[in-house]
Amino acid sequence: MGKMYAFFCFTLWLAGLDSAFCYVESMVTNMLDLLNENRMDGKSLARRALCAAVVCMFGIAITGAFTTNFGWILFDMVEHYIADYLIVPVGLLQCVCVGW
């Protein structure tokens, strides 16, 4: 593998990391909003840390499935089902919910 591919992989990793913490942040925000705890005082920060830890632990557990030998096929499957079948119905439902 050439040096350029390492560079390309680092770019991919950065982009992935970027979206990973966007997604985690959105989940944590929604959880804290549900608990009505989204202020920036000491207690809420502890709650935020706890929420983030739970979400990240969950993430590590799911990522573990992708690091096995089956991960390659699993990734293709997950991507295919989410991209082709799931994301448009979810988007339409969100439009309905927000417009309600």
Site residues for other proteins per CB under 8 A: 1-5, 7-8, 10-30, 33, 38, 40, 48-49, 52-53, 55-56, 59-60, 63-64, 66-69, 72, 75-76, 79, 83-84, 87-88, 90-91, 94, 98
Q: How far is the CB of 70 from other proteins (least distance, A)?
A: 9
Alpha carbon distance 27, 30 (integer Å): 5
Q: Which is nearer to other proteins, 20 or 35 (CB)?
A: 20
Q: How far is the CB of 45 from other proteins (least distance, A)?
A: 8
Nearest to 51 by CA among 73, 33, 77, 69: 33
Classify burial at 28, counting beta carbons within 10 Å of its beta carbon; exposed 0-12, middle 13-18, buried 19 or more.
Answer: buried
Q: Which is nearer to other proteins, 35 or 87 (CB)?
A: 87
Radius of gyration of the chain (CA): 18
Alpha carbon distance 42, 48 (integer Å): 10
Q: Which is nearer to other proteins, 18 or 35 (CB)?
A: 18
